[in-house]
Structure 1
Amino acid sequence: MLLIKKFKFDAAHNLVSYKGKCERLHGHTYELVIVLEGEPDEEGIIMDFVELKDIVKKEIIDVLDHSYINDIISQPTAENIAIWVWNKLEGKLRSKNFSLYEVQIWETSDSGVIYRGG
């Protein structure tokens, strides 16, 4: 079973190793989707949504929201942001009944990436 929680944050970046308009400073309202894979526990849940929200807010949203992402990730493509998010959360979103399954980063409503570790 998959558990899904969506988040939004606003941030600016520029792609320094890219030739095109995205090499200039610009911003996005990103959508972050966290997907856990697991089985419901004795309470009937995979993970409490409030607990998941608190972890993601502390580890990701509070760091990236209203930031210049280049100060955190040197080439902040959607791909590299997804990897960074995975690395920050993978150890914190694991228990006997669930684990982190997927991170999605959407720069716009129709352009995003999916990362499943690796």
Structure 2
Amino acid sequence: MYGLKTESSFDAAHFLTDYHGKCENLHGHRWRVVAILATDELQEAGTCKDMVMDFGEFKRILRALTEELDHSFIVEEGSLKPQTMKCLEEEGFTLSVMPFRTTVENLARYFWQRLDEAGVPVMVVEVYETPNNCAIYERGRN
């Protein structure tokens, strides 16, 4: 099996709904996303012959995904009152509304799915919310 690995990072805030502890409060992280691709066969023709894929394209796709969340407030859909959301929007805050609880585990699955939708042969995504703590989502376990 052949593989490639790259990473990107972004800064964003979030909080955990229905959680009892520090993380129920609004806080931020320097999120680090590590993606690993895997394939049994290398490309057979063109400029990417004998490659999994072009590293430049791989990096561009991952960075575009992390850029979407950079310097935003990642909010679970329905977790804040409509008037709170309206006030945040009126104040000019960038909100990234997600259809899931904003745990690091769900963000790892989110990035895996987005890479897969982009046609990248993604195998594993690791998302670090601190330098020492990460969640992992991998192909075959979804």
Structure 1 segments (4+ residues) deviating >6 Å: none
- Cα displacement (A) at 1:72: 2.3
Q: How many residues align?
A: 113
Indicate the structure whose relative CO is greater, using CA pairs within 8 Å and at least 6 residues apart. Answer: 1
List gaps (5 residues or longer) in structure 1.
none
1:1-118 equivalences under 5 Å are 1-38=2-39, 39-42=41-44, 43-58=49-64, 60-70=65-75, 71-73=96-98, 74-94=100-120, 99-117=121-139, 118=142
Q: Is there any run of 5+ residues in structure 2 with no aligned partner, and where? A: 76-95
**Distance in structure 2 (CA, Å) of the matches to 1:35 and 1:53:** 11
Amino acid at match of 1:41: Q
* Identity %, equivalent residues: 37
- Answer yes or no: is the 8 Å Cα contact 2:43–2:50 preserved in 1: yes
> Once superposed, what is the RMSD of the aligned Cα atoms?
1.5
SS of structure 1 residue aligned to 2:117 = coil
- AA aligned to 1:103 is V
> d(CA) in 2 for partners of 1:17 and 1:2?
39
How far the C-alpha of 1:53 sits from its partner, in A, is: 1.5
Cα offset, 1:19, TM superposition: 0.9
